[in-house]
Amino acid sequence: MIFDIVAKTTPAPLELELEYGEIIETMAHIDKEKYRRGCCHNSQHDLLLRIHQEPGKRQLGWLSQTSALYCEFFFNLLREVAPVTSQIKSPLGYKNIALTASKYIHANYTEDLNIDMVAQALNVTPRHLNRLFRDLFGAPFARTVNNIRMEYAKPYLLTTGESIERIAGRVGLPSGKVLTKLFKEREGISPAQYRALHQNKS
């Protein structure tokens, strides 16, 4: 059997990127010898037999099944010649979803965002998305969105003389009262006090 790893050109979920890096690193170590000779265990023999039989059956999904069998065969061989332990501790897919949602919020924070809209864009349920936000950011979706909006409001407070009401509208909040409430909850002071405090320092 001759194997080669083809460099990827398309982005992939974080855990696949990490796994790909580990495979490349392992292959680099064993590639120095170019060829390895080993025994064919019964389990490998059975896999090779299934790989040979699958295309002949032409059953539904035979292409995907054959690819999966080749993949299993490859990793069995790789584990035999390079018995290293992976450093990936757990699946990271949930983090990818939450981080992608966060990017979506940053790109659309001036719009009327709601969890149903973002969940639909990412093809997950609102409940699942909310749970991911709590796990990763320590706050539910709605609070995370408002926290992001408040952070975008701060530069307006410090670099412009615009009213609190107008700044609230710029960052997607319904009113200056809501912005003031958020500031008091997170900063302990109002937007006006925040502006005065930081402008005096500069």
By the 8 A CB rule, do 169 and 177 touch?
no
Length of the chain, in residues: 202
pLDDT of residue 184: 93
pLDDT of residue 171: 95
pLDDT of residue 93: 59
Amino acid at 158: L
pLDDT of residue 142: 92
pLDDT of residue 3: 61
CA 109 to chain centre: 19
pLDDT of residue 81: 75
By the 8 A CB rule, do 110 and 171 touch?
yes
> For residue 30, what are its two tokens?
């064993």
Distance separating alpha carbons of residues 20 and 25, to the nearest angstrom: 9
Residues in CB range of 54: below 8 A, 6 or more apart: 62, 65, 66, 69
Element (H, E) at 107: helix 93-108
pLDDT of residue 180: 95
Distance separating alpha carbons of residues 93 and 91, to the nearest angstrom: 6
Q: What does the pLDDT look like over 53-90, one tens digit per residue?
A: 988 888 888 888 988 888 888 888 778 777 777 765 55
Number of Cβ within a 10 Å radius of residue 109: 19
pLDDT of residue 32: 58
SS3 91: coil
116 exposure class (CB count in 10 Å sphere: 0-12, 13-18, 19+): exposed
> For residue 59, what are its two tokens?
């059953």
pLDDT of residue 33: 58
pLDDT-flagged residues of the chain (< 50): 14
Distance separating alpha carbons of residues 191 and 50, to the nearest angstrom: 68
pLDDT of residue 162: 95
